[in-house]
Amino acid sequence: MKQRTLSIVKPDAVRAGNAGKIIAEIESHFKIVAMRKLQLTHAQAAAFYAVHAGKPFYNDLVDFMTSGPVVVMCLEGEDAISGYRRLMGATNPEKAEEGTLRKKYATSMSFNAVHGSDAPETAAVEVAFFFPGCDLI
């Protein structure tokens, strides 16, 4: 099934100069239907990760996600949601498979280079969080 999903190149990967390589790899698997570079405010990051509010890592996650620019993309493709999760690899890079973006570019569980939506419901909410319908081409 053709799906859309939200991808974020996180501040650690942008800071390290890895955004271009990550985007090129993503583009070899998915159509990029929208892309923005921006720096999240504290309120935006807190809202985006609201599902994790109250967890021990939440405050650090919000601080990290606001620590520098990110590149946000809406991706489209056959089974894009699970397919992009596979390309990202496990949340903990030590457990990520060889060849995945997190294996290559993440340095820890906290600084793990990329975000991807985890289900159709969250993908729809996350894409709409960053892109009005008119920007999705």
Q: Indicate the residue type of 6.
A: L
- The residue (of 56 and 133) whose beta carbon lies closer to Mg ion is 56
Could you tell me which residues are beta bridge partners of residue 114?
9
Neighbours of 82 (CB within 10 A): 13
Spell out the residues 6+ positions from residue 105 whose beta carbon is closer than 8 angstroms to its own: 13, 16, 18, 21, 22, 113, 114
Q: Please tell me whether residue 129 binds ligand ADP under the rule CB under 6 A.
A: no
Catalytic pick among 29, 42, 52, 115: 115
User: How far is Cα 30 from Cα 119, in angstroms, rounded to an integer?
Assistant: 17
Binds ligand ADP (CB under 6 A): choice among 57, 82, 99, 135: 57
Q: Please tell me whether residue 107 binds ligand ADP under the rule CB under 6 A.
A: no
- The residue (of 100 and 112) whose beta carbon lies closer to ligand ADP is 112
Scan residues 114-133 and list those touching Mg ion (CB under 5 A): 118
Binding site for ligand ADP (CB under 6 A): 52, 57, 61, 91, 109-110, 112, 115, 118
